[in-house]
Amino acid sequence: MDSKREKDHDADCEKITAVLLKSRTGEFDLESILFLKLRGLGIHDLGCIGECINLERLDLSGNNISNLAPLASLRLLSVLNLSANRISNLDPLRSCDSLQNLNIAGNVISSTENLHCLASLRKLENIRLKDNTYNYTNPVCRNALYRTVVLEMFPNIKVLDGERIVGRGSDLYQLCKDIDDTIKAGLYKNGQLIEHPDCKPWVEDSYWEIKRSNNAIIEEAYKQFNDVLHECRLLNNRATHVISQTERSMSLKKQPKQFAI
């Protein structure tokens, strides 16, 4: 009986419905939902999510989503996590004018041509198409010119695949990589490795690569910590919104009533 109930529950989660959204958020009206996390539920149909027109942060990672059409109406969406799905077409996101942070690692984006539809999003400053921590990537990332083309396509981008391009920390990161490349270049002459018995590389070749931890316990603890941190941020944003609404309501009540003469 329990297994049947679980199957029925899974079937309900395959499509986003008003009942699912209200049960997950506790909101009575879909337009009142500001933050939403529907991760790893087996969702393949976004259903009525387009009715959440005031949605600001959305996490749909780890599902079976391929069609993003219902997201086209979310004009206030600023943070969107679509990692680990089956997405190849990003065109519906061209109308998400407020989008700042987009994670589409672990999908089936095959070419940089698929990214052109996002070029008009002026607020977009953080894009992730691959995530070495979870071994998520896209076919487009195998292109040798992938990084160069993406940076040219999005001149306002600050963070690409978790690496800061501009802003605090970016100069130091690039400087260290340049020093490392210079040291390596000095070990070669006419394409041949020069023997230096007393000289060792500054860092190992794989130093700059973020690798997934082999310790499952540490990895799970890290994941849970990030989940809790994310929840805290969502609660803080939601509390700020409620306080702002309350203060606005109280200020209106204090205003003297005006009577027509």
Per-residue pLDDT of 34-67, as tens digits, reads 999 999 999 999 999 999 999 999 999 999 999 9
Location of structure tokens 């989940």: 227
pLDDT digits (tens, 9 = 90+) for 246-255: 877 777 766 6
- Of 10-14, 67-71, 91-95, 231-235, minimum mean pLDDT range: 10-14
My answer on whether 203 and 124 are in the same domain is no
The total number of structural domains in the chain stands at 3
Q: Closest Cα partner for 87 from 59, 102, 66, 104?
A: 66
In a domain, 172, yes or no: yes
pLDDT, position 200: 61
Domain boundary among the residues 196, 212, 228 is at: 212
| Domain span including residue 205 | 168-212
**Strand partners of residue 188:** 193
Residues 18, 145 within the same domain? yes
Same domain, 13 and 32: yes
- Same domain for 59 and 172, yes or no, is no
- Residue 1: pLDDT band (50, 70, 90) is very low
The Cα–Cα gap between 197 and 80 comes to 51
Q: Are 72 and 55 in contact (CB under 8 A)?
A: no
Q: What does pLDDT average to over the chain?
A: 81
pLDDT at 97: 94
pLDDT tens, residue by residue, 184-196 = 565 555 555 555 5
Same domain flag for 14 and 64: yes
> With b meaning 16 or more CB within 10 Å and e meaning fewer, what string describes 55-69?
bbbbbbbbbebeebe
Same domain, 45 and 105: yes
62 inside domain: yes
Shared domain for 162 and 52, answered yes or no, is yes
Of 145, 93, 149, 147, the closest CA to residue 124 belongs to 93
Phi-psi region of 113 (alpha: psi -120 to 50; beta: other; left: phi over 0): alpha
If one compares 230 and 43, the residue with the highest pLDDT of the two is 43
249 and 218 part of one domain? yes
Indicate whether 29 and 112 sit together in one domain. yes
Residues 4 and 117 in one domain: yes
Question: Which of 22-26, 77-81, 147-151, 225-229 is the least confident region?
Answer: 225-229
User: Considering the domain boundaries, does residue 260 fall inside one?
Assistant: no
Is this structure's pTM higher than 0.85?
no
Instruction: Clarify whether residues 3 and 95 are in a common domain.
Output: yes
Do residues 126 and 150 touch, judged by C-beta distance below 8 A?
no
